[in-house]
Amino acid sequence: MSAGRTVEGAGCVTWWGFGPARDLLNSENTVRSDGELNVLLVGSGDPRHILKTITGLRDSDTLHVWVIENSMEVVARQLLLLYLSLLTPENMSLHKKTEVFLEVFGNSEIRKETEETLKHAAAQLSLSITNTLSSDSHTHPCLDTSLLKFKERDELVRIFKLWERPPSAPASVRKVWDTRVRQHLGTRYDSRQGCFDWDLSMKLHQRGCGVISKHQYVKWRETGVAFEMREGLYQTANQSLLSTRVFNHRGDRVAVRGYWGDIVSSPYLSFGIETENKDLLKTQNNQHVKTAQDISEVNVLALFECLSTRWRSLLNEDVPNPSSSCCQSTDSLITEEKIQNDPPSSQTHTEPEQQTQELALLNVSGVKVSFLSPDSLNKLPLKNKYRNLFNSIFCSASMVHQLDSSLREITAPDAALIIELANFLLDLSKEQVSGFADRVKEIAEESGFTPNHNQSSDAYAVFTRKKD
């Protein structure tokens, strides 16, 4: 398999991870202090680990998650998915929120109703980032973008406005998707159904993903639509999965907007292949009764219920206070109700006095997510505030090349290092997957970490910081 074809399958933009959600603090060697717990995510691509780690927190824990992605387009989508996760039950029921989240998360095309939710979220996020440009402070207790550079925040605003007001004559997403599939399969395109079936039965199923059904997987490989939980027309482009890629064409650099993410492994990996509810893994006549979509829905709903519970526990324990209410943000965002009542054309032209009201998002007790610049990983050891700070660090397979010996300087004693392996990069051979795992081990040991031999997953390699 050539390197070019490998890139074409996995894509050059990581919209979702290549392994299931895990609690990054649930390591037998990770020491949970009584103070703030700090977790660094490098290239995670989606908020699955953030949501899963929150479920394992004790009532007295506080969690600060630091996120580094390799592009502002992925940062924008992380913010969008976290925004959807933090919608209050009053604004959207847990079941509907689960459906909308998965639709935006894994579908190239979405329903018209979901598009309106996406545009609405983009309008609010655009306003929140704009306010950080003037005040240089974060505009929601749980979401902090103030550490990004001004030009990076400008880029986020540009992306959100593009989502809110897409081009009047956008390229067909189905055509864009099909072009990627043709490019990836080459001469095998005419027998693509057999290729899809082979990747599912001989690769994903052999690697423990038997719950991914043939019908759903093949449909996703054909159209890019992974989650269809309601009857409706899935024919509106999901703008959050479109990005710009620069090509060299006859000596000129040409920017092309399209879908440049994974077209082989599937978004089912993040939430749909593991579950604590063993009833969901039952088989009948050697066939799974439930599918990866069913498991994804149950898992995401459980994560959202945990968020809601942690929010409500804050309400029950504390006296209501305008500055700490979970439905309150800082006074720099407009209300959700106001945007819902305004026509779309007015959402980005809100008067200044309207931008001083509350934003109806959950303020999850003791949880904060801060976004750092894409080039900041090698700069963290140079700043005292990050010295021996992180209790756990996650690094994706696509970003592992950025790790070096300076990593040890920013980790706390007994910190865990979790690195995503290439087990679910289907275009790689077994030898390449094994070689990648060996290289990951070398990098971790050179950085001052030792392997955790009690590993229960082929998707991640877990290491612990060596004793001084």
Q: In sequence order, what DSSP letters do the residues of 160-220 get, joined into one string?
A: HHHHHS--SSPPPHHHHHHHHHHHHHGGGGGGHHHHHHHIIIIIIGGGT-TTS-HHHHHHH
- CA 141/CA 166 separation, integer angstroms: 29
Q: Among candidates 342, 343, 348, 365, which has minimal Cα distance to 128?
A: 348
From first to last of its 468 residues, what are the pLDDT tens digits of the chain? 333 344 579 889 999 999 999 999 986 555 566 678 999 999 999 999 999 999 999 888 899 999 999 999 999 999 999 999 999 988 999 999 999 999 999 999 999 999 999 999 999 999 989 887 766 555 678 999 999 999 999 999 999 999 999 987 666 899 999 999 999 999 999 999 999 999 999 999 999 999 999 999 999 999 999 999 888 899 999 999 999 888 887 778 888 889 999 999 999 999 999 999 999 999 998 899 999 999 999 999 999 999 988 876 555 444 333 333 333 333 333 233 333 334 443 343 433 333 433 456 888 889 999 999 999 999 999 999 999 999 999 999 999 999 999 999 999 998 999 999 999 999 999 999 999 999 999 999 999 999 987 776 789 999 999 886
- CA 112/CA 132 separation, integer angstroms: 31
pLDDT at residue 377, rounded to an integer: 95
Q: Among candidates 235, 114, 262, 81, which has minimal Cα distance to 180?
A: 262
449: Cβ contacts below 8 Å, ≥ 6 apart: 407, 408, 417, 463, 464, 465, 466
pLDDT at residue 253, rounded to an integer: 83
- CA 141/CA 182 separation, integer angstroms: 45
pLDDT at residue 231, rounded to an integer: 85
Segments making up each domain of the chain, as ranges: 1-314+360-467
pLDDT at residue 247, rounded to an integer: 81
Neighbours of 249 (CB within 10 A): 9
Strand segments (E) across 51-134: 62-68, 109-110
Contact 18, 420 (CB under 8 A): yes
429: Cβ contacts below 8 Å, ≥ 6 apart: 1
Using alpha carbons only, give the angle 345, 350, 352 rounded to the nearest 5 degrees. Answer: 165
CA distances from 260 to 8, 13, 242 (A): 8, 6, 7
pLDDT at residue 203, rounded to an integer: 96
The alpha carbon of residue 105 and the mean position of all alpha carbons in its chain are separated, in whole angstroms, by: 8
pLDDT at residue 115, rounded to an integer: 96
Positive or negative, the CA dihedral 302, 87, 228, 269 is negative
Contact 16, 267 (CB under 8 A): yes
Q: In sequence order, what DSSP letters do the residues of 417-455 get, joined into one string?
A: EEEE-STT-TTS-HHHHHHHHHHHHHHHHHTTEEE-S--
What does the pLDDT look like over 135-190, one tens digit per residue? 655 567 899 999 999 999 999 999 999 999 998 766 689 999 999 999 999 999 99
Structure tokens at 276: 């604590």
